[in-house]
C-alpha cells in the first residue's frame, strides 16, 4: 500500500535548537540513500502520520543481519556515531562478527539520536513490522513507516504518558481517514 504524504510540520510542533527535525529527516534520508532496510517507528513515525507531538530522535526497526547493519554503519560513518548508552560512548565499529547477537543499537550521531530495534513491542520482529508498514513518498526518497493500526498497538504496549497522548491523536487521524 502506497501513501502520498507531504512532509509538513504539525502546527503545534516546536522546533528544536539547531534545526532538530530537519537533521532527523536528513538522518532518515541517509539510511534511504545507503539502501538500509528499515521501517520508521515510534514518535517520528507518529509525526509522519500527522501527530503534533515533537521528537528528538528517530526509532527504526530493521533486520539485524550483518549486511544490513554494515549498510547502516556506512550511512553513519562520517556522522561520528557512538553507542549512547555505554559509559565510554564507544564509537560504532561493526564487523560481521560483531553483528552476531545484536538485538538493538542506541546511537548518537552528529545529526541526532538513532535507535535501531530488531523488534517493536506490541507488533513483533522486523519482518512483522515491515508487513504492517506503509510506503511514504518523501522529498528525499521512499520510506517505510509503521502503519497507523500497528503504531497504535505499539504505543499501547509501551503505555507511557506521551504514548497515551499520541494514541489519542493517532486514533483521531485514523477516524478522519476512514470513509463515511
- Per residue in 62-91, pLDDT (tens digit) is 999 999 999 999 999 999 999 999 999 999
Residue 176 counted as domain residue: no
Is there a contact between 49 and 145 (Cβ–Cβ < 8 Å)?
yes
Residue-range definition of the domain harbouring residue 150: 13-171
Beta bridge partners of 82: 91, 108
What percent of the chain shows pLDDT beyond 90?
77
As for how many domains the chain has, the answer is 1
Number of CB atoms found within 10 A of residue 52's CB: 15
Residue 179 counted as domain residue: no
Give dist(CA 44, CA 110) in Å, integer: 18
Mean pLDDT for 11-19 is 39
Residue 3 counted as domain residue: no
Which residue from 97, 108, 48 is spatially nearest to 70, judged by alpha carbons?
97
Which residue from 123, 15, 31, 25 is spatially nearest to 76, judged by alpha carbons?
31
* Residue 20 pLDDT: 65
Residue 68 counted as domain residue: yes
Mean pLDDT for 47-53 is 91
* Residue 19 pLDDT: 55
Residue 4 counted as domain residue: no
- Mean pLDDT (the chain, rounded): 89
List, for residues 141-168, the tens digit of each pLDDT value: 899 999 999 999 999 999 999 999 999 9
> At 38, which CATH number?
3.30.460.40
Residue 141 counted as domain residue: yes
List, for residues 89-124, the tens digit of each pLDDT value: 999 999 999 999 999 999 999 999 999 999 999 999
- Grid coordinates standing for 80? 561520528
Q: Rg of the chain's alpha carbons, rounded to an integer?
A: 16
| Residue, of 5 and 161, whose pLDDT is higher | 161
**What pLDDT band is residue 180 in, cutting at 50, 70 and 90?**
low
The pLDDT of residue 11 is above 80: no
3-state SS, one letter per residue, for the chain: CEEECCCCCCCCCCCCCCCHHHHHHHHHHHHHHCCCCCEEEHHHHHHHHCCCCCCCEEEEECCCCHHHHHHHHHHHHHHCCEECCCCCCCECCCCHHHHCCCCEEEEEECCEEEEEECEECCCEEHHHHHHCEEEEEECCEEEEEECHHHHHHHHHHHCCHHHHHHHHHHHHHHHHHCCC
Residue 17 counted as domain residue: yes
| Residue, of 132 and 17, whose pLDDT is higher | 132
Is there a contact between 102 and 72 (Cβ–Cβ < 8 Å)?
no
The pLDDT of residue 16 is above 50: no
The pLDDT of residue 12 is above 80: no
Amino acid at each position: 500500500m502506497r501513501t502520498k504524504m507531504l512532509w509538513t510540520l504539525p502546527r503545534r510542533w516546536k522546533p528544536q535548537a539547531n534545526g532538530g527535525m530537519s537533521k532527523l529527516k536528513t538522518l532518515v534520508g541517509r539510511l534511504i540513500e545507503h539502501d538500509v532496510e528499515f521501517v520508521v517507528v515510534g514518535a517520528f513515525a507518529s509525526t509522519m502520520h500527522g501527530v503534533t507531538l515533537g521528537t528528538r530522535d528517530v526509532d527504526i526497526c530493521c533486520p539485524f543481519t550483518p549486511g544490513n547493519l554494515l549498510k547502516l554503519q556506512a550511512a553513519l560513518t562520517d556522522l561520528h556515531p557512538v553507542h549512547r548508552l555505554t559509559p565510554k560512548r564507544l564509537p560504532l565499529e561493526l564487523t560481521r562478527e560483531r553483528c552476531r547477537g545484536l538485538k538493538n543499537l542506541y546511537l548518537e550521531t552528529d545529526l541526532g539520536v538513532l535507535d535501531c530495534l530488531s523488534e517493536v513491542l506490541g507488533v513483533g520482529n522486523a519482518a512483522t513490522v515491515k508487513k504492517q508498514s506503509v510506503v511514504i513518498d518523501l522529498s528525499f526518497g521512499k520510506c517505510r513507516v509503521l502503519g497507523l493500526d500497528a503504531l497504535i498497538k505499539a504505543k499501547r504496549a509501551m503505555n507511557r504518558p506521551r504514548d497515551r497522548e499520541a494514541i489519542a491523536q493517532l486514533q483521531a487521524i485514523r477516524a478522519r481517514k476512514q470513509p463515511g
